[in-house]
Chains A and B, each alone.
Chain A
Amino acid sequence: MSLTAAVRASEGARTALRHHPWAAFVLRRTGRLAVSLFVLVTASFAMIHLIPGDPVRAALGPSADPGLVAAQRHALGLDEALPVQYVHFLGQLFTGRLGDSISNQMPVSEVIADRLPNTLLIAVPAFCLIMLLAIPIGMGAAVFTRDGRRRRAELGFAAVTGVVSAVPEFLLAVGLVAVFAVAWPILPVASQDGPLSYVLPVLSLTIVPAAALARIVRVEALRVLGEDYMRTARAKRLPARLRYLRHALPNLLTASLTVGGLLFTSLIAGTVLVESVFAWPGLGSTIVQAITAHDYPLVQGAVLVFGLGALLITFLVDVVVAAADPQSTIRGN
């Protein structure tokens, strides 16, 4: 899907879509996605050329043997004119090829196909768990402490979530291993080894963002609880369960979903640290190794995949939020 096609499509359909604001929004948003993708692809192409000096010299050292440098440059295709390289790069992308890794000569696309599922296998459950923990906890805290009630509980909540969200994830991961795998060995220490081995990596990814999100959800929930329609719900004498679950929660979700989308994108990148601790063969640990190894094709591929994932998720979140709460989103845009 190219940029011009998106633009043309949006122009042609504009009149027809005037009465379908949501569809118009989705179309506009698709246009922005196309521009973002273009930026991403160009940035990842430019990355290699932005390295001060040149990537081969950066890897081999400034006074490296000229013959070796030339050979390496040729292998990376850096000896061609820039526009030719760019066209070549785009052509490869469309056929799903991302070049070969310098360190192990495997096709980058194969390395990514190998590692990405492992990252998703911990990132997706962690994301669900974050949402399942943060929203009820944040909302519960808001209900419990609304209108300045129970100041001590509020302080306690702020203190606990504040401390937890200040802990670096890798430190938490090491701590969890020390407690639940070594001192009190009920869970596997590391590596992908049966369902139980997912527990600690997923928890390590979950706890810190959940605390941070719970704080946001609480503030957001307090706002929702103060809305006029919550007074209407009270006026209808609905039971508390219905008031919070049916009336407050959906309005909370739209806001939480936006934050959650941002969270998920950073979560994928956040697996970098946790994967390192748990010897987890994911894409996060791969990208770090590739950076230290100056394996530019692999870094490029991983950046593209992470970036693409982030863009798609924000896109989906925006579209879902627009469907759930068209008024604010579409007007806001």
Chain B
Amino acid sequence: MRHRLGRTLRTPVGLAAAVAVVFLVLVAVFGPMLLGARADAVDTDAINQNPGPGHLLGTDALGRDIAARVVVATRLSLELALGAAAIGVTGGVLLGVAPALVGRRLGRLLTAAVGILVAFPSLLFVLFLATIFGVGARGAMLAIGLALVPPMARLVQNLTASVAGSDYVAAARVLGVGRWRMMTRHLLPNVAEPCVLFAATATAGSLVAFAGLSFLGLGVQQPEYDWGRLLNEQLNRVYVNPLAALAPGAAVVVTGLMLALVGETLAQAGGRRAAGAVPKSGRASGTVTASRNIATDVDTLVEVRDLTVGFGVGRAAVRGVSFRIARGEAVGLVGESGSGKSLTALALADLLPVTATAAAGMMVVPKAGTETAVVFQDPMTSLNPALRVGRQLAEVAEVHRRATRRQAWRSAVERLAAVGIPTAERRARQRPHEYSGGMRQRAMIGMGLMGTPRLIIADEPTTALDVTVQRQVLDLLAQARRDSGAALLMISHDLGVVAQVCDRVLVMYAGVIVEELPVADLFTGARHPYTRALAHAVPTMSTDLEAELATIPGRPPQPGERIEGCPFAPRCASAEDRCRTEAPPTERRDDGEGSVACWFPVAARKEAIG
């Protein structure tokens, strides 16, 4: 945090915030010392004067210098705002942390109490408390401070609830760490950053609230004065001496902004929005820049040459991928996470995030939307929770087939029925949250089939599903392909799934295709050591996928990492010097049934030996 604060302070916003804090502190400390006497000097021969050489902003009803009073009022205005914020934050933290420390029942009661208090508008709170404490600065400070307690407590409760549920707090509890220690060691440090941000916002809010209360005559009373009371006095003369009324108003606004700036800076330092975290995009859009040429071959549905996808300058994630998919063919794209397989698929579907830049020497794909259907990994989040499922299917027909609402709805229901949704008529009217995971994935597939797909891109379509449901979804995909005659590009890190569905497999590693092979060769005839390793690590029904794959020693290179030679070389058991210095070219296999990029393909080595 300290390190980040230092870095944030060097940003323009951070610098401005630092200057603002220093400025406010200086004015609050030295203003009353230097100008206090001038601000209190009564001169009944010079009352209500307009700005002039003697008085920058004119004088008030007692002939006192308004400019001096605005400066001097800084201290009290800030004191009151900070005081109220301190009361609010302290009370809020205590009340917010309490549920995590006291017993379950009491904790629930406290949470419920805060939930009820939060529902009341804060100004109502302030007026209520002002009635009890009476009109005046201290009463108002207490009132505004207490009004801040419920929202602060709610914030802290939410934060501590998530922290208290975390593993290390559970561990600490098992180890018998005391409640007090638990709070100071584990809970408070973890909620500190949002609390600091809240405190800055609360101070700015209190400042405005005090101005309002004093304006209404409920805040600071004479002879004390804050900006609100100066406003109250001078707004009556706004048409006679507008500067005198604007000055305290401007002080409130500018100080509020300064405090907001401080909050922003602290938030950035806290890493909630670390400075410069948003990547800069070279090009404005995420679409692939390539000549979408006409297919060279009537049989070819997809042809991609030298596709690169990257984020920012030199952070390539896909480094020159070329492949083709024939009509009706099912192709698997496999590889570990981060191999670039999903980005390749997204580039094909023209769905790259805008921050990505992509380019290709050649790119032939069916029309996105109508001719390309996409099935995503997580059916829970890929359907719009706010819309009826039927609607989400029907709109495809409405937009692309110009169908009427009624026709589109009917075909959506038919499609849902076709992908095996029972009582589709009723289900179509439901929202996604009423569907099970498998049904949602069926609906997603159905959505893709609303057009006339010639290509189905399925990105890990079964990963998020139960094993039993996986089977059904795969069957459905196969059936859809049979019915529509579409080609399939199936992205998966699960070779077993790919083997079931696909004709041909592309293996990606570190942004390049290292091997292309017929599915029959996947487990027995792979040439690339990486494909071999993958095939070797294929999980059985009971093993954890990620854990098994991790059995390949080492880690794949990060996107953008400089690679010399074969990218797999550092992890390859049979790598030699050449592998580490020279990138292997992709070469067709002798039988023409695939290709491989390896200086020492497995089968070839066997031949050499044998």
Contacts and interface: CB of A to CB of B under 8 A. Distances in A.
- Direct A–B touching in the complex (beta carbon < 8 Å)? yes
Interface residues of A, number: 71
A237 B281 contact: no
A49 B387 CA distance: 52
Nearest to B260: A162
Given A238-B399, A269-B123, A229 B385 contact: yes
A166 B212 contact: no
A303 B127 contact: yes
A107 interface: no
B381 A251 contact: no
B84 interface: no
B218 A250 contact: no
Nearest to A39: B116
Contacts of A198: none
B395 A237 contact: no
Contact of A235 (B123, B128, B239, B351): B351
A155 to B, nearest CB: 9
A232 B257 CA distance: 40
Contacts of A233: 384
Contacts of B204: 166
Contacts of A227: 381
Interface residues of B, number: 71
Contacts of A314: 119
Contacts of B217: 288, 292
B402 interface: no
A147 B286 CA distance: 11
B127 A287 contact: yes
Contacts of A247: 384, 386-387
B116 to A, nearest CB: 5
B253 A167 contact: yes
A233 B386 CA distance: 13
Q: Give the residue among B215, B381, B444 with the most A Cβ atoms within 10 A.
A: B215
A169 interface: yes
B594 interface: no
A218 interface: no
B131 A306 contact: no
Interface in A305-333: 306-307, 310-311, 314, 324-328
Nearest to A311: B119
Contact of A147 (B121, B245, B354): B354
A236 B218 contact: no
B281 A148 contact: yes
Given A149-B281, A228-B378, A265-B121, A303 B260 contact: no
Interface stretch (B40-48, B367-375, B543-551): B367-375
A152 to B, nearest CB: 13
Contacts of A266: 121-123
B238 A178 contact: yes
A254 interface: yes
B368 A303 contact: no
Contacts of A276: 215-216
Nearest to B258: A166
B608 interface: no
Given A36-B119, A327-B433, A288 B216 contact: yes
A286 to B, nearest CB: 11
Contacts of A306: 121, 124
Interface string A138-170: 000000001111000000000000110011111
B374 A238 contact: no
A169 B256 CA distance: 13
Contacts of B431: 326-327
A58 interface: yes
Nearest to B126: A269
A32 B116 contact: yes
B208 interface: yes
A43 B355 contact: no
A325 to B, nearest CB: 6
Contacts of B211: 168, 171
Nearest to B204: A166
Contacts of B395: 236, 238, 242, 246
B98 interface: no
A309 to B, nearest CB: 9
Interface string B322-361: 0000000000000000000000000001010111000000
Given A47-B128, A269-B124, A149 B354 contact: yes
Given A232-B384, A239-B399, A272 B123 contact: yes
A237 B239 contact: no
Contacts of A52: 132-134
A113 interface: no
A234 B392 CA distance: 12
A50 interface: yes
A213 interface: no
A7 B127 CA distance: 32
Nearest to A261: B119
A174 B238 contact: yes
B220 interface: no
B124 A310 contact: yes
B218 A291 contact: yes
Contacts of B252: 166, 168, 171
A163 B254 CA distance: 8
B278 interface: yes
A273 interface: yes
A70 interface: no
B385 to A, nearest CB: 6
Contacts of A303: 124, 127-128, 131
Contacts of B288: none
Given A146-B354, A266-B123, 19 more contacts: A51-B134, A166-B252, A168-B208, A228-B378, A229-B384, A237-B400, A251-B384, A251-B386, A266-B122, A269-B121, A272-B212, A272-B216, A276-B215, A276-B216, A288-B217, A292-B217, A299-B127, A307-B120, A311-B119
Interface of B: 112, 115-116, 119-124, 127-128, 130-135, 204, 208, 211-212, 215-218, 231, 235, 238-239, 242, 245, 249, 252-253, 256-257, 260, 278-281, 284, 349, 351, 353-355, 368-370, 372-374, 376, 378, 381-387, 392, 395-396, 399-400, 431, 433, 444, 447
24 contacts: A51-B131, A149-B284, A166-B204, A166-B252, A167-B253, A168-B211, A168-B249, A170-B215, A170-B235, A171-B211, A171-B252, A229-B384, A233-B384, A235-B368, A242-B399, A247-B387, A269-B123, A272-B212, A291-B130, A306-B124, A310-B121, A310-B124, A326-B431, A327-B431
